[in-house]
Amino acid sequence: MTAVPTVPLNNGVAIPQLGLGTARLPDEETRRIVREALEVGYRFVDTAASYENERGVGEGIADSGLPREEVFVSTKLRGRDQGSDSAKEALRSSLDRLGLDFVDLYLIHWPLPRLDRYVASWQAMEELLAEGLTRAIGVSNFLPEHLDRLAAASSTVPAVNQIECHPREPQLEQRADDARRGIVTESWSPLANGGELLRQPVLAEVGARHGRTPAQVVLRWHVQQGLVTFPKASSRGRLVENLDVFDFALTDQDLAGIATLADGTRVDGQFPDVWEEF
């Protein structure tokens, strides 16, 4: 079984560096995949209220028979539930669907600046943290100006900022801003939904030098830079493949080649300053 390293968050909680993503998967499929992922060595599962599969995640964890403390679980506050009281109720509802007493990480899914409730939501999440309903709190898709507002209204620094990040959009400026604040950057859509990215010749060339697939090269690109990530997979073989990225290293030449892919392309055109998710 592959040993996945952990990354310390700014409150001392340790998060596995590579986990399982579950976006856009229905409950029954999620249940199977989570169970199989935990069987082959995953110890981190990422979900969200808006994915509408928290029940499947919880059932998969229960099916695994693993002790609760061995599985790191993160979920997210959806847009329509932002606000002081509603954010608190939203986590309790997520916990009910998950069948858990607490999550390890709770995130604001999108800033939704037009709604302008993310500061109140953050302050509610601080209370949820104090109550022990989550071990750490963070944000997703936040830009520096959103983080500045949180800093002005709260002394709690987000543990994580989960952002779209992959070789097409490496997010160098946002990652540097996160690091300056003591925030760990998590990469969502780490393979840019596969497809075109994984067909790029430079990834095949790098993979050939290391005896790895293009997907493994990209996932190694994430973890080697200290990012936390959680690719999706639907088959046991792909689950195993995605986890097998901790016993080789990309060279400076490899990294320079991968850097040529950076063109700012986002997978769904989801820009945090205007994107709305409810």
- Length, in residues, of the chain: 278
Q: How far apart are alpha carbons 13 and 125 in whole angstroms? A: 16
Q: Is 146 annotated as a binding residue?
A: no
- Give the whole-angstrom CA distance, residue 186 versus residue 139: 10
- Is residue 51 among the annotated active site residues? yes
Token pair belonging to 232: 């999706």
Q: Are 236 and 181 in contact (CB under 8 A)?
A: no
∠ at Cα 136 (135, 139), nearest 5°? Answer: 150
First to last CA, the chain: 39
- List the strands of the sheet with 228-229, edge to edge: 20-21, 44-46, 72-77, 105-108, 137-140, 160-164, 184-188, 228-229
CB 119 within 8 A of CB 78: no
Asked whether 49 and 94 are in contact (CB, 8 A), the reply is: yes
Look up residue 222 and give its two tokens: 């994430």
Binding annotation for substrate: 109
Output the known binding site: 109
Annotated catalytic sites, by residue? 51
